[in-house]
Amino acid sequence: MIWFQNTASMLICFLLSRALIDRRILDQWLVSLLRGKDGKKSLRPDLFFLLVAYGLSLFFSNTVVVLSLLPLVQMLSQNEKPVLTTRLGLALIFGANIGGMGSLTGAPINLAAVTFLQMQGFPGAEKITFFSWFLFGLPISMGLLGLAWLVLRPGGGAFLGRKHGESPLNRNRKRFLWGTLAVMCLLLGLSALQFAFDPEPVFAGFNFFDVLFLFLFASVLAFLFFWPVNCTWGRGLRHNLFFFGASLLFFPIIGLQRIAGEKSLRRITSLEKTSVFLSERMNRRWTIWFGDSCRRSGCSCRADAVNPFSLVSLNRIFYDLPYMGFLLLAGVIAVFFLLLKIGDNPATSAIDGWLTIQVSQLMHALSDTVSDPMMLILVFVFATVFLTELFNNTLVLFIAGPLLIRSPLLDPMLGVPCFLLLTMASSAAFMSPIATPVNAIVPTSLSGFSLKTMLRRGLWLNLLSVVWLYFLADWMIRML
């Protein structure tokens, strides 16, 4: 089952990225790369974060990558001018969005698009795996990466004014870094074998490679959350199992406490008091449950403290979620859902509200003005990129995609590749903070970030992205 393999790959990448964060491996490695071995050489920070965000987003979810890199950006941009903070934030947005196009696990919309194609039964959708998407998306994303640097490059330089200290990676952390790379290569290899052989199911719809993906996911989960470190096996395993369950139990309360404690909401006295109350109650319960273990390990016994006996702490994952960014996206989705329901006919299962009809009519009107398949693709790519800035990439994709692949001007065998091209176009929206999850998280997390600069430079990259995707579509049609 391709959907299971793709979901397992995304979860494995997410958990490994969290391990690199919790063990302070990622930030130390990145700072050492940024500063050089002698502490004197310095890469351009904007180029550095553009490349790192792109490279990591090829394997990990770009949302997770941005959450991982934001603390480092905040540290490096501290006491710097707002224009420099904006450049680093744009480097994260450009790199993460473009890297997310290059792999199936890079952006949430990629998996949603593949699931849609497979559920609709489009020919060739069953062949989309982590490996096949990588082959299709890597050249496209690399070209966009070069265009992003052309847009970001003017007006900047090696502007960090002071040295930020870093401690070198020890042997165990280097081994973990190499182990993470090995798991990523194993994922890519298993996906390539699934793409090449496509074996028949052997048990409950699972084929041989599905079983291997399940075993790999269970192994990574058990190793990161339950494998005891810094203590005896029996006591550590019991502690980790209980800690994992307690974190799951407290997840709703953690979310409420984090939302009530957001800086932008602290002026509301009742919310601040609610945040303090929830924090005190959780810390009191945490002390009752884990006080002895914390005292033995010499660590803080708080609900937001890292589990000292495991590689990854589930409670820290919950605490580090960008709740305000998610609330912004949820608000946008709720508004669009209400707009979609205006004029919707409840007697039909289709979404046929006023907004859906208007967008569909607009796309139909644009497609009716052309008679050439390449001009049709250009119109849809352009419309997808810029409508995403006003609405949301998921909404735009699932309206424009089916219209394009069902067009009589388009060869049926080009349907799935063109839908994937539109999926990437829906991530090539760099202007507004509502277009993608990455666009929403970065501006709300960096103090002094300029939305005006994001709008201006994002517009140029949007236009260049349309030209690049059109060029690739033309080459694809000629090849096929």
Residue 238 has pLDDT above 80, yes or no: yes
What φ, ψ does residue 21 adopt, rounded to 5°?
-75, -50
Residues 72 and 205 in one domain: yes
Contact 156, 87 (CB under 8 A): yes
With a pLDDT cut of 70, the percent of the chain lying above it is: 78
Q: Are residues 55 and 125 in the same domain?
A: yes
The letter for the amino acid at 455 is L
Gyration radius of the chain's alpha carbons: 24
If asked whether residues 427 and 278 sit together in one domain, one would say no
* 301 and 436 inside one domain: no
Lowest mean pLDDT among 128-132, 241-245, 333-337: 333-337
The SS3 assignment for 101 reads helix
Let me know whether 42 and 114 are in one domain: yes
Give me the helix-helix angle, 82-101 and 451-479, nearest 10°: 20
| Predicted TM-score (pTM) of this structure | 0.68
For residues 403 and 336, give the distance between their C-alpha atoms in angstroms, rounded to a whole number.
20
Range of the domain at 340: 326-479
Contact indicator for 458, 406 with CB cutoff of 8 Å = no
Pair (142, 285) in one structural domain: no
Q: Are residues 194 and 46 in the same domain?
A: yes
* CB burial of residue 350 (10 Å; 0-12, 13-18, 19+): exposed
| Residues 307, 381 within the same domain | no
Q: What is the pLDDT of residues 352-407, one digit of tens each?
A: 666 667 666 766 676 666 667 788 888 888 888 888 888 777 778 877 887 777 77
For residues 278 and 343, state if they share a domain. no
Are residue 361 and residue 475 in the same domain, yes or no? yes
Q: How far apart are CA 57 and CA 17, in angstroms?
A: 10
Looking at the 3D structure of the chain, how many domains does it have? 3
What is the per-residue pLDDT for 253?
A: 85
Any idea what the Cα angle at residue 117 is, between residues 112 and 121, rounded to 5°? Answer: 145
pLDDT at residue 432 above 70?
yes
Please give the mean pLDDT across all residues of the chain. Answer: 78
Judged against a pLDDT cut of 50, whether residue 164 lies above it is answered with: no
Angle, CA of 80, 261 and 327, to the nearest 5°: 85
Helix 130-152 × helix 2-22 angle, to 10°: 50
From the CB of residue 332, how many other CB atoms can be counted at a distance below 10 Å? 17
Is the pLDDT score of 2 beyond 70? Answer: no
Picking from 209, 225, 241, the residue at the C-terminal end of a domain is 225
Same structural domain, 31 and 78: yes
Whether 117 and 100 map to the same domain: the answer is yes
Given 301, 319, 337, the domain boundary residue is 319
Q: Which two tokens stand for residue 115?
A: 């699931």
